[in-house]
Amino acid sequence: MRVWIGFIALLLGGALPSPDVYAQQSMALEPIVQVTIDPSRVVVGQKATLSVLVLAPNYMTSPPELPDFQVRNAVTRQLQSVNTSEQRDGLPYAGVRFEYAISPQEPGSYAVAGQSVRIKYAAEPPATREVAVALPRVSFEAFIPDAAGSLRPFVSANSLIVEQDIKRSSDPLKAGDAVTRTITIRAEGTPAMLLPPQQFPPVDGLKLYPAQPTLEDRIDGRSDVMTSTRVDSATYMVERAGDYALPSIDIGWWNVGSGKVEQVHLEAVPLKGIATSVAAGPAASNQSARRWTWDGIVDFIFDHWLTALLVVAATAGIAWFAPRVARRASASLHRRHQAYLQSEAFAFSRLRRAIRHRDAKASYFALLEWLSHLNATQPPITAGAFKAVARDPELDRQLDAIESELFGNRHNPARWSPRRLLHRVAAARRRLRPRAGSRATTGLPPSLNPLGAPKVAAYRKPAR
């Protein structure tokens, strides 16, 4: 019995390969890398899918290291990666399939070449091996359809929607007010950086402050559909009274699904700028007084007729017994009240209140209102002229920060300090405001208001 067992063992030992033979077969196995791209011809702006299959014998000890596959004049983004296993010549292989979307920006030929992938795998477990495998060259072509050759710039998408939003700082507008125009483009099937940037043309009489665009791409994890958004905006500040219009906008794009050129039209935006309240002056105040006289008093009489009757009777009695005193007192109080409402002190109190409330917009326009009262002549002084004559670097920084917050980069505005701004404006006011009875004044130079000649007070030499 032992003889038969020894014989069978000898036969089996002679039929089975030695461990060295296993080692030679394992060392002979190499990783497999396959690269494909589909489709081979794609519309500009649409994606060509690059697929990279990495397989290693037995198993990989760590994920393979792939390049980023950046291609000139194209946008590359990684899609999904899937683990896989296969049998090659009866031997097991394990690996990963990677996919990348390459969206060309211009027509022409594109190629992925000169790239390599590093792979760590169990060549003879537990021993590992690391190799660098060169990727085969693959290429594709991007083109613009003949029917869309006139589009400048060329934009392709599965769907595209354009919206505009208009925000006014006040209605109706007046000098110093602002209008912000925002254009939002939403598209499906193309990256946000390939959507057309919007140009905001300058308009005579409006100061233009363009903002930085905002780009966003969103990927649906289940369907891998990309939705992109581009937002462009600009602020127009009214410099003088007049009628204006922001021009219309037309965007042409290629509908990949229908294979046709489609147009999006945004209507022009009419703007009407009226004169400032300072320029209107007495007319505006008289109109306000008339509204109060006819509307407020009539409503008060109907709602409080008994009180109104007593007031009328008391007024009639005073007018009967002391007509001159009553008229003079009433006229004096009215003149003083109107004078105070139109005075520099009242305008500065409004500016101080706006700054203390930390309201950048209210502070800026209250400053413009106060500057119009700082000098007696017209036209009103601008913020730039005020900074030039004040000659205060800290005041310049504070005003520049407010202008940057209102009309510049809203996502990263410069910070301004209400305490410092109020301190510097008050100091400039003390230097620039004319004072009655003083022998010399450091008021605003006459060059800021060329319409009126400067008045020099004449002083008489005191008698001895």
Residue-wise pLDDT tens digits, 384-424: 888 888 888 888 888 888 888 877 655 556 688 888 888 88
Predicted pLDDT of residue 310:
82
Predicted pLDDT of residue 227:
93
pTM reported for the whole predicted model: 0.52
Do 252 and 314 lie in one domain? The reply is no
Sequence-separated (6 or more) residues with CB below 8 Å from residue 81:
96, 97, 98, 99
Domain that holds residue 415: 344-444
Q: Is 444 in contact with 374 (CB distance < 8 Å)? A: yes
The H or E element that residue 133 is part of is strand 127-134
In a domain, 36, yes or no: yes
In angstroms, the CA 449 to CA 434 distance is 15
Do 172 and 236 lie in one domain? The reply is yes
What mean pLDDT is predicted for residues 173-178?
A: 86
Do 293 and 197 lie in one domain? The reply is no
In a domain, 451, yes or no: no
In a domain, 138, yes or no: yes
CA atoms within 13 A on the CB side of 325: 6
Q: Pairing relation of β-strands 269-274 and 173-174? A: parallel
Predicted pLDDT of residue 43:
95
Q: Pairing relation of β-strands 108-112 and 249-255? A: unpaired
Q: Is 250 in contact with 146 (CB distance < 8 Å)? A: no
Do 392 and 308 lie in one domain? The reply is no
Instruction: Provide, rounded to the nearest whole percent, the portion of the chain with pLDDT above 90.
Output: 34
Q: Residue 19 above 70 pLDDT?
A: no
Do 226 and 260 lie in one domain? The reply is yes
Predicted pLDDT of residue 300:
56
Do 217 and 311 lie in one domain? The reply is no
Q: Which of 274, 302, 324 is the last residue of a domain?
A: 274
pLDDT-based confidence at residue 197 (cuts at 50, 70, 90): very high
In a domain, 178, yes or no: yes
In a domain, 214, yes or no: yes
In a domain, 14, yes or no: no
Do 163 and 186 lie in one domain? The reply is yes
Q: Residue 247 above 60 pLDDT?
A: yes
In angstroms, the CA 271 to CA 460 distance is 54
